[in-house]
Structure 1
Amino acid sequence: MPYVVTQSCCADASCVVACPVNCIHPAPGEPGFATAEMLYVDPRSCVGCGACTTACPVGAVVPDTALTPEQEPFREVNAAYYDVFPHADRTPLALVPPQRRLGRPRPVRVAVVGAGPAGLYTADELLRHPEVTVDVLDRLPTPHGLLRAGVAPDHRHTKEAERLFRAIEEQPGFRYLLGVEVGRDVTRAELDERYDAVVWAVGASADRRMEVPGEDLPGSCSATALVGWYNGHPDHRHLDVDLSTERVVVVGNGNVALDVARVLTADPEALAATDVADHALAALRTSAVREVVVLGRRGPAQASFTTPELIGLAGLRDVDVLADLGGAEVVGDDVRSRVLRELAGRRPDPARRRIVLRFLTSPVRVLGDDRVDGVELVRNELVPDAAGVPRARATGATEVLEAGLVLRSVGHRGVPVAGLPHEPVAGTVPHAGGRVEPGTYVAGWAKRGPTGFLGTNKSCAQETVEALLDDLDAGLLDGLIDGRPTEAGDLSALLAARGVPVVDLAGWRAIEREERRRGEAAGRPRVKITDPDEARAVALRPARRGRRSLSASSR
């Protein structure tokens, strides 16, 4: 009974280490690890022991006998990887490198700015060294970044990665300083005075624009903002989302675009079983949306969505998912090509909501007077450039598609991080292996740009921490005497003196408990607190006074 990976997983590699016969790849150290769409189980080597499914923190590995009809394509996806990458010379066991130890042991204090996946994976790597303590700062009173506010609410398995983060948070030497904004509550210079090193793990990015007339009309916004809206991100909780229209157009066809299309056409009562934000659930329950058209300027072979996301979308039971190939041919015999051909051949059911993946189409204008009421589109053709790469070229054939909501999902661009250098073309902080300069480091999107998956942050953090440890061992971070803070003192004391209401680990646990209490009352896993002031009030309520957080007690 071989096991099968059934989604874009977290790439935590727990399953790789747990497997006694080394049948899960790409593994750490192999080409493609943390950049591949997912991990793959070799059906010819798998002995069916189940160690991988026990180790997987998000429940992504299941026995082949338990696959649902919608998950069946993943059986072939796993097997096909080994047809392309057979690697008959692989060693029989997963190899775990020995844990590095500091060459010059002494107490080390590190601040990590950003409590998303990149920041928490960085903290985890640092805390493998008992000499290191880590303070994790974030401007929001709640951590976990895109896992909390970016992953679609119906991707419950992916959200289970919060168990990984909980384990990181409970480690000795870990401390949260949430609700603290660098630049407002504390300066970069004040961080540098108090820590041996500072790692900037901020998701410094903004949505790219379509650069077409009418883009700024009400009813036109970024898909990222909509994702934040239905996930309860404080920055987007007041977003004006008008769902009184029957058709929504999403420009761009990456995974975020598919997530948005799926959520907007989902049964609201099914979403009620998730942690979707209350205000979004109320709006979706009265939604008039019947069709979401997802536009791709190039052909199906160049689409940005991953194969696991396409398979998941195609397997929806209560929504018609169709493909308009725009005259392009899909000739491959791989799973992705077969799924697209099958979608192109489906016949719509007028009684069902619908998602249409439309290719070789670009917007040239968003239409409307006071509000969006349509989009002018142009058909494209693919023309190879000098390097042979297919490029979209407008044919001149246009049409108007009525729509009341237009969402752009055409990528991100990096924005500068205050106080750090900025590379405008890449949109990142210039660095070498995560090192900006000795004492200052980057991880996550500020380091590599808006690329990768949740698990990509793990290998990204490992590289950055290696650079930091190299500098420690080389004596380049010896700015503190005997590892103790200078006269500047502890950061928490400075924040307290300034009256900054800091949320610590115990405060975050109080927020979690309250969200789950509200969820239990509503028959839901949790009801998110989206107002930052309310979250702080819950975290700091008098009943908690006098308690010491687990992390603080380790100081």
Structure 2
Amino acid sequence: MRHLAIIGSGPAGYYTAEAAQKQWGDDVRVDIFDRLPVPYGLIRTGVAPDHQSIKGVSNRYEKTALSDNVRFVGNISVGQDVTVDELQGLYDAVIFATGAPNDRPLAIPGEELGNVFGSAAFVGWYNGHPNFATLDPDLSGRHAVIVGMGNVALDVARILSKTEAEFAGSDIVSHALDLLKRSKLETITILGRRGPHQIAMTPKELGELGKLENACPRVNPADLPPEDDDAVLEPGQRKSVGHLRSFAAIPESERGQFGKEVNFHFFGVPERIIGNGRIEALEVSRTALRDGKLVATGEVETIPCDLLVSCIGYRTSPIPGVPFDERAGRFANDEGRILPGLYCVGWARRGPTGTIGTNRPDGFSIIEKIAEDFDSGALGAARKDGRPGFDALAESRKLDIVTFRDWKKIEEAEERAAREGAPREKFVHIEEMIRARG
């Protein structure tokens, strides 16, 4: 019997568990650990609440989770409740699927001012992550700036722009919806250092901005390259730029019908946050592309800003004793191998790139490598105690494990508490989740 411990219950974790089942069938036991009492990682707290169809992938993970040889071990913090060394002593292989939950800093003066947030915190706030339930951003100002040109920046801009009616059917948490209803924002600026051809926004998500009830996207036609230049782009990128061109073509007469504007501000690098205790403006250096290279023009402008959300990437949480690549913000690894018996998968392996589906081949690949290491003897001949050994350790320390069946009770309670039209009302405090399981 092979015993695997997977740390992290998001897509990477469950795809890896699925791969282990396909590799070894009944001859494997997989324990999936998470410090929260609820599974699914960014499916629950990262995917936008108005993208319910994407969240539906959790149904696939549930099939894996309810099988006899895979177990969810929630409410366990690896590094506090149990150490990595202890897990390695109990399991044949330990796999980090912890994602990249920390914001990459802007690293500019003024970042410490009030009403300046990273996207992990801000997205976590409106998605009900327990770490960020009390964030309480101030939306009483007129101007928001979102730094970044990826889909996360689009998510934040869309959430800040929607009317209450447009959140029907979403699982945005009530504390966020209540604050958004009272928002006084008039302009949401999406700031990127490069131009339209360099955006990392996908067509579907970009197209949603053109369908908002009370917000109109704006692109300066002067920022767009000649239309013939679009021919060199990949089809998806070409479609995204097509959306930008359609936004630029919206007549001024139509813009007056909307209460908010979503402005795309290309060729600008944030240099300094200005304010007294809280943000009031953002100083931006203008850039240009010359022979494919980004250069500074020497021009500086100041953008009014009452709220700033930085969406420039994420970093994995380092763990003492586990090699870490500080520059890349992920575990140091060779195609997923960290040290003998220690592996990583998903964003913890490759950094915050790819879609949810990218984690499936990643999970299958790491299981193939673990199988190779079993066959070569690199993991040793002696089999370890695995699940029974951990259960004995947990009992001795009086650890309060939340199982997947406990989670189903939490989920049922969230569904019962949902406001009209919503799929659920998430519990945003761990104590509430524990009480809800009964």
TM-score, normalised via structure 2 length: 0.92
User: Distance in 1 between the 2:124 and 2:113 partners?
Assistant: 20
Q: How far off is 1:132 after superposition? A: 0.6
SS at the partner of 1:239? Answer: coil
Q: Which residue of 2 aligns with 1:304?
A: 200
Q: How far off is 1:361 after superposition? A: 1.7
Q: Do structure 1's residue 377 and structure 2's residue 275 form an aligned pair?
A: no
Q: Do structure 1's residue 260 and structure 2's residue 163 form an aligned pair?
A: no
Residue identity opposite 1:242 in structure 2: D
Q: Which residue of 1 aligns with 2:127?
A: 231
Q: Which residue of 2 aligns with 1:71?
A: none
Q: How far off is 1:245 after superposition? A: 1.2
Q: Which residue of 1 aligns with 2:433?
A: 535
250 and 139 in structure 1: CA distance in 2 versus 1, 3 angstrom threshold: same
User: Distance in 1 between the 2:116 and 2:211 partners?
Assistant: 29
User: Distance in 1 between the 2:288 and 2:31 partners?
Assistant: 52
User: Distance in 2 between the 1:314 and 1:272 partners?
Assistant: 18
User: Tell me, which stretches of 5 or more residues in structure 2 are unaligned?
Assistant: 232-237
Q: Which residue of 2 aligns with 1:509?
A: 408
Residue identity opposite 2:391 in structure 1: S
Q: How far off is 1:192 after superposition? A: 1.2
Q: How far off is 1:269 after superposition? A: 2.6
Q: Do structure 1's residue 417 and structure 2's residue 319 form an aligned pair?
A: yes
User: Distance in 2 between the 1:303 and 1:310 partners?
Assistant: 10
Q: Which residue of 2 aligns with 1:319?
A: 215
Q: Is the 8 A contact 1:109 1:133 kept in 2?
A: yes
Q: How far off is 1:493 after superposition? A: 2.4
Residue identity opposite 2:334 in structure 1: A
Q: Do structure 1's residue 443 and structure 2's residue 345 form an aligned pair?
A: yes
Q: How far off is 1:474 after superposition? A: 2.3
Q: Do structure 1's residue 406 and structure 2's residue 312 form an aligned pair?
A: no
Q: Which residue of 2 aligns with 1:16?
A: none
Residue identity opposite 2:10 in structure 1: G
Q: Do structure 1's residue 470 and structure 2's residue 372 form an aligned pair?
A: yes
Structure that is richer in helix per residue: 2
User: Distance in 2 between the 1:322 and 1:330 partners?
Assistant: 18
Residue identity opposite 1:335 in structure 2: K
User: Distance in 1 between the 2:187 and 2:87 partners?
Assistant: 50
Q: Is the 8 A contact 2:201 2:240 kept in 1?
A: no
Q: Which residue of 2 aligns with 1:355?
A: 262
Q: Do structure 1's residue 108 and structure 2's residue 9 form an aligned pair?
A: no
Over the matched positions of the two proteins, sequence identity in percent amounts to: 36
User: Distance in 2 between the 1:398 and 1:367 partners?
Assistant: 14
Q: Is the 8 A contact 1:255 1:305 kept in 2?
A: yes
User: Distance in 2 between the 1:336 and 1:330 partners?
Assistant: 15
Q: How far off is 1:336 after superposition? A: 2.9
Q: How far off is 1:433 after superposition? A: 2.7
SS at the partner of 1:273? Answer: coil
User: Distance in 1 between the 2:168 and 2:241 partners?
Assistant: 33
User: Distance in 2 between the 1:233 and 1:152 partners?
Assistant: 12
Q: Which of 100, 103, 110 is matched with 1:207 structurally? A: 103
Residue identity opposite 2:245 in structure 1: R
Q: Which has the higher contact order (CA 8 A, sep 6+)?
A: 2
TM-score, normalised via structure 1 length: 0.73
Q: Name the stretch that deviates more: 138-147 or 396-405.
A: 396-405
Q: Is the 8 A contact 1:414 1:424 kept in 2?
A: no
Q: Is the 8 A contact 1:300 1:330 kept in 2?
A: no
SS at the partner of 2:322? Answer: coil
Q: Which residue of 2 aligns with 1:499?
A: 398
Q: How far off is 1:430 after superposition? A: 2.6
Residue identity opposite 1:526 in structure 2: R
Residue identity opposite 1:524 in structure 2: A
Deviations 1:60-101 (A, max 9, x none): xxxxxxxxxxxxxxxxxxxxxxxxxxxxxxxxxxxxxxxxxx
Q: Which runs of structure 1 show a deviation greater than 4 angstroms over 4 or more consecutive aligned residues?
A: none
Residue identity opposite 2:9 in structure 1: A
330 and 359 in structure 1: CA distance in 2 versus 1, 3 angstrom threshold: farther
User: Distance in 1 between the 2:218 and 2:432 partners?
Assistant: 43
Deviations 1:331-354 (A, max 9, x none): 225423332222112135234122
User: Distance in 1 between the 2:175 and 2:210 partners?
Assistant: 28
Q: How many residues in Structure 1 have an aligned counterpart in Structure 2?
A: 425
Residue identity opposite 1:527 in structure 2: E
Q: Which residue of 2 aligns with 1:343?
A: 247
SS at the partner of 1:127? Answer: helix
The structure with the largest alpha-carbon Rg is 1
Q: How far off is 1:394 after superposition? A: 2.6
Residue identity opposite 1:425 in structure 2: R
Q: Which of 26, 36, 53 is matched with 1:140 structurally? A: 36
Q: Is the 8 A contact 2:124 2:131 kept in 1?
A: yes
User: Tell me, which stretches of 5 or more residues in structure 1 are unaligned?
Assistant: 1-106, 542-555
Q: How far off is 1:513 after superposition? A: 0.6
429 and 223 in structure 1: CA distance in 2 versus 1, 3 angstrom threshold: closer
User: Distance in 2 between the 1:123 and 1:419 partners?
Assistant: 25
Q: Which residue of 1 aligns with 2:18?
A: 124
427 and 364 in structure 1: CA distance in 2 versus 1, 3 angstrom threshold: closer
Q: Do structure 1's residue 198 and structure 2's residue 94 form an aligned pair?
A: yes
Q: Is the 8 A contact 2:104 2:314 kept in 1?
A: yes
Deviations 1:485-544 (A, max 9, x none): 28x95212211221221101111111111001111x5442100011011111222x2xxx
176 and 338 in structure 1: CA distance in 2 versus 1, 3 angstrom threshold: closer
SS at the partner of 1:147? Answer: helix
User: Distance in 2 between the 1:223 and 1:432 partners?
Assistant: 29
420 and 479 in structure 1: CA distance in 2 versus 1, 3 angstrom threshold: farther
User: Distance in 2 between the 1:338 and 1:238 partners?
Assistant: 39
Q: Do structure 1's residue 219 and structure 2's residue 115 form an aligned pair?
A: yes
Q: Do structure 1's residue 166 and structure 2's residue 72 form an aligned pair?
A: no
Residue identity opposite 1:516 in structure 2: E
Q: Which residue of 1 aligns with 2:235?
A: none
Q: Name the stretch that deviates more: 497-506 or 409-418.
A: 409-418
User: Distance in 2 between the 1:493 and 1:289 partners?
Assistant: 54
Q: Is the 8 A contact 2:5 2:30 kept in 1?
A: yes
Q: Is the 8 A contact 1:252 1:295 kept in 2?
A: yes
325 and 186 in structure 1: CA distance in 2 versus 1, 3 angstrom threshold: farther
Q: How far off is 1:373 after superposition? A: 1.5
Q: How far off is 1:211 after superposition? A: 2.4
SS at the partner of 1:312? Answer: helix
Q: Name the stretch that deviates more: 358-367 or 314-323.
A: 314-323
Q: How far off is 1:479 after superposition? A: 4.9
Q: Which of 28, 36, 48 is matched with 1:152 structurally? A: 48
Q: Do structure 1's residue 485 and structure 2's residue 379 form an aligned pair?
A: no
SS at the partner of 1:382? Answer: strand
User: Distance in 2 between the 1:399 and 1:361 partners?
Assistant: 9
SS at the partner of 2:3? Answer: strand
Q: Which residue of 2 aligns with 1:182?
A: 78
User: Distance in 2 between the 1:171 and 1:325 partners?
Assistant: 55
User: Distance in 2 between the 1:127 and 1:528 partners?
Assistant: 31
CA RMSD, Structure 1 to Structure 2 (Å): 1.9
Residue identity opposite 1:509 in structure 2: K
Q: Is the 8 A contact 1:214 1:367 kept in 2?
A: yes
330 and 116 in structure 1: CA distance in 2 versus 1, 3 angstrom threshold: farther
Q: Is the 8 A contact 1:325 1:358 kept in 2?
A: no
User: Distance in 1 between the 2:396 and 2:207 partners?
Assistant: 54
User: Distance in 2 between the 1:187 and 1:406 partners?
Assistant: 37
